[in-house]
Structure 1
Amino acid sequence: MGSLAMEGDNHDQPLQVVMFPSLAFGHIFPFVHLSNALAANGVKVTFLTLPSIVAKIRLALDPNIPILNYELPPIDGLPSDVDTTARCSEVLVELLRQAMDATRPQIAKILAKLSPQVIVFDFVQGWVPEVAELLGIKSVYFCVFNAISIASTILFGVTPHQRPSLWRLRLPPRELLSICLSLKPYELRSLLYYACGSGPAASYFSRLLSSMAFCDAIAVKSTYEVEAPSIKYVSSQYRKPVLPTGVLLPKAPAGDIEPKLDEWLNKFPKGTVVLCMFGSETYLSVKQKKELVAGLEMTGFPFLAVLNTLAYAAKAKKQELEVEIGEKAGGRGMVCSGWVNQPLIMSHPAVGCSINHGGVSSIMEAVVGGCQLVMLPFKGDQYMNTKLMVKQLRAAVEINRRAWDGWFTRKAVRKAVRTVMVDGSKKGTLVRANVAKLRGILQQQELQEDYTKGFITMLKELVASP
């Protein structure tokens, strides 16, 4: 693939952008959706990833977008078949991050050969801005989290070399400060883990803060209609362009629902099934799974719970999970594991409620699919996404949990589900009305197109700048 000249005054040449996501599907697919939106508007996009996951990406990526490969260098303790964070322990995820750091020479050679004007990268690869600057390429950090997550990270400024400061607490919007000060002990412990890390490599927070500090611009998978205060706060702190991309939902779910699940869902009336899913990287203990399923049985609604186990978990734990898999409550409930077509299931007419972990894509897919939202977050940005939905937008309810360790009961599960699924309560009525308003915003295709065009305009201005 030939390189393009980098002359800022030649407006006839198409913008050339390289996309470089980290190796987590919750990050990869937002990069895919942004790539598709850019390509549909005349931007020349090249996508970087590993050879082993090209087939999965190609199903969703515009066929005209080329995919270039790089290889993971061997790292002691990292199995050769681990190519994403899916179903990996934290130890393996840490080793995978180290392997990504070791790809720096490969990526530098690829960029030198392609000579793009912009590279869009993920926070795990916090070294990209330095590489890009040496090559005369603009770097854009693409945040696939909600803006409230990176705003809260900035607010506390938690890195191994920086403590929270009072001046930071005076500047943020009152709503953001209120949310951060209301965090419970189990939520704070999770955030502290991401701040400090667990090994010799840089922590999540330090990578994130470094990426935002040294890139030329920040892109965020959000909109002003949903997160204006947080987006403006991030911009004020770094004094550089912060470019909302819109929510970047795929136009229509691809593929088919697994026949057995489709047949089961078709047995129930419209909007009555409670769908419970926690993404590809969130895992409940066996005790938590049993309590959750018991709570689902108590709701009185049919339910489908997809509960996964770590790929490298002990055999005894997997066998214990297998005991829980199958039909429940006389056929009114179904518990399974493994991959399912989440967007397609959420849009099935029978599904009326989504219990999820607070991942951005899961939230948005549920809202667009017509589901009511019940939140059960377990780590990192999931807590802040949940605060956004429950406290700021009031478009979801959260399952009540014990403050110290985050334990939840079956009664708490029942109460949360019935709050949004049974008409009558003041809180439930408010939440249902607000989620309907949010759905209206997300379904405005013209709004998404405006964000895409505005994003491209700002990229061109960035390339033209010194």
Structure 2
Amino acid sequence: MALDNTDDINKQLHVVMFPWLAFGHIIPFLQLSKFITQKGHKVSFLSTTKTIERLPSDLEPLINLVRLKLPHVQELPHNAEATMDVRTDDIHYLKKAFDGLEPQVTRFLEKESPDWIIYDFAPYWLPDIAAGLGISRGFFAIVTPWFMAFRGPLPKDVINHSDNQKTVEDFMMPPSSIPFPNNLCYRKHEATWMVGTSLVNASGVTDIYRSQMVIKGSECVFIRHCFEFEPQWITLLEELNHTPVVPVGLMPPETATKVGEEKSDTWMTIKTWLDGHPKGQAIYVALGSEVMVGKREISELALGLELSGLPFLWALRKPAGFTESNSVELPDGFLERTKDRGMVLMSWVPQLQILSHESIGGFLTHCGWGSIVEGLMFGHPLIMLPFLVDQGPNARVLVEKQVGIEVPRNEEDGSFTGDSVARSLNSVIVNDEGKIYKANAMAWSRIFGDKKLHKKYVDNFMKYLKSQRV
């Protein structure tokens, strides 16, 4: 494949991609990989055998998929190779296994001598290895710049000690290192969880240490963001870490479907249901593949959907840790009572096709950045129910942008009620106040869904790769 330009750096690059073992991370790494190959360069995508088997079968030979054998860790379930395979509380064991990939990754880099390696937050050991081999290296942040900025400036000496980290109270207020007005903070239940992740765990290192070592050892930070939306955070991130930050755009996914996919049984069933409901009245509910929603939370969410009186399509994926004898349970009679206006799907659903349908009027989301991008690219107001990591701060920023509202929760334990879910849904879809959320979401869709704009970011990203390689 010929290069798309004839500038002074016309050599074909070999770029290695190494994401963390979560599909919320793997998918944007794959998207970026495709952009690189479309520019005529070679990509080697490193992940575990089972993870690669789960990827679309048409990726090869466009991308060199390199299968790594995940070392066995006793505490992990058999064949668990991604966060979707384990309970949230056991992810640190997966990180321990992930760290065991170091020898295989090192051997690959020594053999192939690529121009670049682009990695996630987890392999804190990788930047030094790549530097020693003369390979250019960059950290690709699939999270938002405000989430990264919340950590504050990169310390001069990175120490893997939990007593050097933030307290619950620290997480509950905007950091002093942010010089402009903001409402960036965690709720108490979120802060308690975040402090827990900052403790040394089975992998022997904290998540904060991983991120700091990865940034410290990188030549640059690539980030899924753009200057057209909250640009001040990109500038701040550069100042805090003393590292160049290169936005790659929001990477809105392609909405065109593969041949035959638009006529799949699953989509045709969903489309028939959506076609039967008025424009802008149906709620799409999806909490991602990583969030482990408890039985009580599922019951309250179901109750809220029922009480709202609105049509809904709920993508209720079975969380990790659930077995046949411990399956997802909806409240008794829920499906029967809502059968005329509700659809619950417990398997993969074509999310982009659903969101693009005119019957969808709002998106109840966990506030993962990828889901936010997909919701806003179609101009859907958001009903936000954050759970983990960056999702709480994402919700705070988006509430301030008035593109939706956050479902009220108990500050102490994070619990919510069906009544609060129902009120939130109606506030966005039915009540007059929802008009401002809809108008703002639609306005931002012109940025989030602008393919030409985000293609320019990818072009600039490629120019950076070609100009900065070792």
Name the aligned partner's letter for residue 432 of structure 2.
Answer: G
1:301 lines up with 2:299 in the alignment:
no
TM-score normalized with structure 1 length = 0.89
Q: Give the superposition deviation at 1:121.
A: 0.4
Cα distance in 1 for residues equivalent to 2:121 and 2:154: 18
Query: By percentage of residues, which structure has more helix?
Result: 1
Name the aligned partner's letter for residue 405 of structure 1.
Answer: D
Q: Is the 8 A contact 1:218 1:241 kept in 2?
A: yes
1:162 lines up with 2:164 in the alignment:
yes
Q: Which residue of 2 aligns with 1:174?
A: 180
CA separation of 1:412/1:96 partners in 2, compared to 1, >3 Å: closer, same or farther? same
Q: Is the 8 A contact 1:221 1:244 kept in 2?
A: yes
Q: Give the superposition deviation at 1:328.
A: 3.9
1:204 lines up with 2:207 in the alignment:
yes
Q: Which residue of 2 aligns with 1:119?
A: 117
Name the aligned partner's letter for residue 373 of structure 1.
Answer: L
Q: Which residue of 1 aligns with 2:4?
A: none
Q: Which residue of 2 aligns with 1:415?
A: 423
Q: Is the 8 A contact 1:33 1:249 kept in 2?
A: no
Q: Deviation digits for residues 223-257 of structure 1, max 9, x if unmatched?
A: 11113121111100121211101011222254346
Of residues 420, 426, 442 in structure 2, which corresponds to 1:436? 442
Structure-to-structure mapping, 1:14-413, within 5 angstroms: 14-59=12-57, 61=59, 63-154=61-152, 160=162, 162-163=164-165, 169-176=175-182, 178-180=183-185, 183-196=186-199, 198-252=201-255, 254=257, 255-256=261-262, 258=266, 259-313=268-322, 316-318=325-327, 320-321=329-330, 326-391=335-400, 393-413=401-421
Aligned length in residues: 449
Q: Which residue of 1 aligns with 2:3?
A: none
Q: Which runs of 5+ in 2 are unaligned?
A: 1-6
CA separation of 1:115/1:150 partners in 2, compared to 1, >3 Å: closer, same or farther? same
Q: Which runs of 5+ in 1 are unaligned?
A: 1-8
Cα distance in 2 for residues equivalent to 1:367 and 1:169: 27
Q: Give the superposition deviation at 1:80.
A: 3.3
Greater CA drift, 367-376 or 353-362? 367-376
Greater CA drift, 413-422 or 55-64? 55-64
Name the aligned partner's letter for residue 272 of structure 2.
Answer: E
Q: Is the 8 A contact 1:283 1:308 kept in 2?
A: no
CA separation of 1:337/1:87 partners in 2, compared to 1, >3 Å: closer, same or farther? farther
Q: Is the 8 A contact 2:318 2:328 kept in 1?
A: no
Q: Give the superposition deviation at 1:306.
A: 2.4
Q: Give the superposition deviation at 1:11.
A: 2.1
CA separation of 1:406/1:79 partners in 2, compared to 1, >3 Å: closer, same or farther? closer
Name the aligned partner's letter for residue 184 of structure 2.
Answer: I
Q: Is the 8 A contact 2:16 2:118 kept in 1?
A: yes
Cα distance in 2 for residues equivalent to 1:353 and 1:327: 23
SS in 2 for 1:83: coil
Q: Give the superposition deviation at 1:280.
A: 0.5
Cα distance in 1 for residues equivalent to 2:304 and 2:154: 36
CA separation of 1:161/1:24 partners in 2, compared to 1, >3 Å: closer, same or farther? same
Name the aligned partner's letter for residue 134 of structure 2.
Answer: G
Cα distance in 2 for residues equivalent to 1:384 and 1:159: 24
Q: Is the 8 A contact 1:147 1:220 kept in 2?
A: yes
Cα distance in 1 for residues equivalent to 2:457 and 2:142: 15
Name the aligned partner's letter for residue 179 of structure 1.
Answer: L
Q: Give the superposition deviation at 1:198.
A: 4.0
Name the aligned partner's letter for residue 411 of structure 1.
Answer: D
TM-score normalized with structure 2 length = 0.88
SS in 1 for 2:54: helix
CA separation of 1:328/1:235 partners in 2, compared to 1, >3 Å: closer, same or farther? farther
CA separation of 1:68/1:200 partners in 2, compared to 1, >3 Å: closer, same or farther? closer
CA separation of 1:162/1:459 partners in 2, compared to 1, >3 Å: closer, same or farther? farther
- Structural RMSD (CA): 2.6
Q: Is the 8 A contact 1:87 1:309 kept in 2?
A: no
Q: Which residue of 2 aligns with 1:447?
A: 453
Q: Is the 8 A contact 1:372 1:435 kept in 2?
A: yes
Cα distance in 2 for residues equivalent to 1:105 and 1:77: 21
Identity %: 29
CA separation of 1:463/1:327 partners in 2, compared to 1, >3 Å: closer, same or farther? farther
SS in 2 for 1:142: strand
Name the aligned partner's letter for residue 378 of structure 2.
Answer: G
Q: Is the 8 A contact 2:84 2:290 kept in 1?
A: yes
Greater CA drift, 305-314 or 32-41? 305-314
Cα distance in 1 for residues equivalent to 2:200 and 2:307: 39
SS in 2 for 1:358: coil
Q: Give the superposition deviation at 1:298.
A: 1.8
SS in 2 for 1:412: helix
Q: Give the superposition deviation at 1:383.
A: 0.8
Name the aligned partner's letter for residue 74 of structure 1.
Answer: H
SS in 2 for 1:355: strand
CA separation of 1:276/1:152 partners in 2, compared to 1, >3 Å: closer, same or farther? same
Q: Is the 8 A contact 1:324 1:335 kept in 2?
A: no
Q: Give the superposition deviation at 1:12.
A: 2.7
Q: Give the superposition deviation at 1:57.
A: 2.3
Q: Give the superposition deviation at 1:211.
A: 1.1
Q: Give the superposition deviation at 1:341.
A: 2.0
Q: Deviation digits for residues 56-94 of structure 1, max 9, x if unmatched?
A: 323574752221211111222223311211142134422
